[in-house]
Chain A
């Protein structure tokens, strides 16, 4: 078997950090949207700054990706799977970027002050006050959150498919291990 080419350490750290935060975010979001308390207000107060943090992280991640290209997909991956993998990865990026922006934009259009910390530190509005826009963006926020969750389920399933069925080292390339190569990439032989 070919040696596994690992993702750069920075890519792996960003991937797993964001994986945890995004899952927390989605679970908090779907829980609070169907809640009338007692944790509702605290969770909304947690959801906003975490969303902004994730927006910053996804920008950082795209910059990181520019400097550390991901390893190539296995050469023997069927073309349809390769297309699916690439398309789903870009869809993940698009949703990771869109959800915090839409959250911020919808609260702006709803005329809500947008506190980031306490009630004193506010985010400036992204859009003018427009209730109809608020109503549709609020719905879009939900629909896209469900789409992101569905993609994450597929992504997790695909990772396990690589690990358990194809056994091609794709999952391991994101988990890491091995030694640091001169180029900053990690590599180790598999099996």
Chain B
């Protein structure tokens, strides 16, 4: 050894020693960042899967791309206050910025009654606290994990030859996920209302209310419309549902009731693809009032990411794995689209339906 210590091989070993630390760090960093595990589901792979279905539409949200901003307020009624000190359960009125949208990544898709509608809200509480939510008009989420969501997007990806999903791929997904059959059935049989304005929007994911007494209560929640009137199904225009929403909100403010459903013993808190018993205790926690729409071009909702894990004090995420994937993936989508050129949204409430024949210059006639 000592004979070699100052010789060539000793020197080589010392140089290897020098290189060992940077190399170890690099390998560890690459492992942590997922570069050594190509099958890891990440926000990027989730977005790639969505892009595979709907294509790339720069500047738009990667899902629920077609939408319109809405504003109003929320007023709690105090009935949920004993479960959580969250500001929304107080009786003070707080401002709300929101967004109605159609599910899917295509920003210019035509409206159709059966398409999944969503309501996203940011309730702005005191001291900078917010409660953001992304709600959908479906009874359950089609899958129970982010991995399944990505696999489903890959299965329904349209094939070049037909422009439609490969039926075999869809069948294979169903066969590989028999536990999702009940969700598929519930989705297929869901009641469909005539529009955004009389629709019920559900959290799908579960959350946990944290009482000041330390008590935890798992919940799901929904916005239930006051507008129960079932109008005729909207006309055939490309933006028929949005035009109808605009008409309804122009006539009078639209109201929804926030209904909390408290998890029963057998309800799956960690699986948004499963219905709850239907026998659970429900609490009416407050009223949402929406008063006017605004185009996404310059509207207040455009620069907000409706990340369901932006929660106020007193509300915590549940162990539902889809929640975290939504938070992570929405953040990535928000960062990407914010670096892209601002696009022109499909629907602009400042343009009346009769005017909407491609005119670019728009004068706002509605007071907002």
Bitwise, B38-67 to A at CB < 8 A (1) or not (0) is: 001111101000000000000000000000
Bitwise, B12-44 to A at CB < 8 A (1) or not (0) is: 001101111110011011001110000011111
Q: How large is the interface on B (under 10, 10 to 19, 20 to 34, 35 or more residues)?
A: 35 or more
Whether A165 pairs with B15 at a CB distance below 8 angstroms is yes
Whether A41 pairs with B21 at a CB distance below 8 angstroms is no
Task: For B194, list chain A residues within 8 Å (CB).
Answer: none
Chain A nearest CB from B201 CB (Å) reads 22
How far apart are the CA atoms of A3 and B146 in the complex, in Å?
59
Whether B43 pairs with A27 at a CB distance below 8 angstroms is no
B338 within 8 A of A: yes
Beta-carbon contacts under 8 Å, A156-175 to B = 156-157, 159-161, 164-165
A31 within 8 A of B: yes
Whether B33 pairs with A34 at a CB distance below 8 angstroms is yes
Task: For A139, list chain B residues within 8 Å (CB).
Answer: 335, 339
Q: Is the interface of B mostly helix, strand, loop or mixed?
A: helix
Given known A-B contacts A149-B25, A165-B15, A38 and B319 have beta carbons under 8 A apart: yes
Given known A-B contacts A111-B303, A165-B15, A31 and B127 have beta carbons under 8 A apart: no
Whether B129 pairs with A27 at a CB distance below 8 angstroms is no
Whether A165 pairs with B18 at a CB distance below 8 angstroms is yes
B72 within 8 A of A: no
Task: For B22, list chain A residues within 8 Å (CB).
Answer: 153-154, 156-157
B327 within 8 A of A: yes
Bitwise, A167-190 to B at CB < 8 A (1) or not (0) is: 000000000000000000000000
Beta-carbon contacts under 8 Å, B266-318 to A = 302-305, 307, 309-317
CB within 8 Å of B: which residues of A?
23, 26-27, 30-38, 40-41, 44, 110-113, 118-120, 122, 124-125, 129-132, 134-136, 138-139, 149, 152-154, 156-157, 159-161, 164-165
Enumerate 10 A-B pairs (CB-CB under 8 Å) in ascending A order: A30-B29, A33-B43, A35-B34, A36-B43, A110-B305, A122-B127, A122-B128, A135-B334, A135-B338, A164-B18
